[in-house]
Amino acid sequence: MVTFRRKSGLSTLDLFNDRFSSFMGAAAGGAQPQPIVTGHVITGETLTVSPGSWSNSPDSFQYQWTRAGSNITGAVSNSYVVTPNDEGEIIRCNVTAIIASASAGSATSNGLDTWYPGDASNLIAWYDAADTSQIAINGSLVTTWFDKSGNGHNLQPYSDTFAPAPSGSLNGKNTIVCAQDFLINSSSAASIIPSGTDISIAYVTNNTTNDANYSLYWSDTVYPNSSYNGFGTGFNILEFHAGPTGTDFMGLFYCDGLGNSGASNQDIFIISGTSTSGAHVTSLNLHQATLFPTASLSYDGIQLGSGSFTLARDGRAASSFTLGGHASSFSTSRRQDGDLADFIICGLLTSNEMSQLEGYVAHKWGLESNLPESHPYKDSPLTVSV
């Protein structure tokens, strides 16, 4: 199982730069000009190396790719497909010139490193469908979707009846198919959506319709004085809801109920926008540290809007978190109908960090064309050559 590699005591910027400085000396040796590796260190992407110009006119070249200075088994051609193990590491290629079947010198390429969610501030949970080592299955159904952050916030199906399939696809990478199925965490939900803490969320979904009336994620007992369909006063939920049948808006971030027992659904924060069908990048900043929380929502790197909740928070912790549907409603109309690709929850990100995260998931899932021309990572995710 792959989890991100974080060095304790370092800031986010230090985490990224430390990987570079650790390997700066490796590119100095060997023949000149130095072999050049190009590409992005993102799962499923292909890196290529050009051997450079050699004065001794080699007959051929041999290649050995390395991760953090160690050889990658079987990676011995002039191209290499990135695996989940490679993200967050420096990737290089050692090139050996061959003349008359013998070595005639070697050189080490530049190293590449691409920003990834492990570099984000205060990563809380990361559900990455492209990394199949993070998905346990039984037959054709998901039994556990492991939290890749290393914090242990794993998700399981609510029951066998609601278990999603692990075998979707987007941009040649695996996705989890939620055909009105959902996954839940009831053991550490208070840490996934921490009450009173500012958080950022970014995710990629591939929805089959623009009016599925779905709930993508749901967390209870976060906001006070609410009631939901017979659960009684004090049952509080925070939910991302999108696309009621017959409409075409991006999303609805809301709390059900108003505090009097038996109150019906109360939508308190609505953001209108583009159709939700197809694959898209969605990002959200939620400011919970104030009495009346505020939120801002972006879709494919474009901010759709921001606003304030009308209900004050009371600091109670969430007891459950679901992904793919609404845990208290067994109606299929309250479930997502589409694929889950990436879902990442962090402490509140800076504007630049959120752009880096949007760039990472957009390029990973082949959605960079969705980003606006003004997005700083439309053409390339944050990748540094050292």
Q: Domain segments of the chain: what residues? A: 12-114, 117-377
What the block records as the tokens of 19 is 């990987």
Overall pTM > 0.85: no
The CATH number of 12-114 is 2.60.40.2700
- The mean pLDDT value of the chain amounts to 76
Q: What is the pLDDT of residues 130-155, one digit of tens each?
A: 999 999 999 989 999 999 999 999 99
Q: With respect to CATH, is domain 117-377 assigned 2.60.120.200?
A: yes
pLDDT value of residue 148: 96
Residue 276 confidence class, pLDDT cut points 50, 70, 90: low
Q: 12-114 with 117-377: one CATH topology?
A: no
Residue 172 pLDDT greater than 90, yes or no: yes
Q: How do residues 85-110 score in pLDDT, each as one tens digit?
A: 999 999 999 999 999 988 888 999 99
The pLDDT tens digits for 216-262 are 666 654 444 333 333 333 334 455 555 444 344 344 444 433 333 33
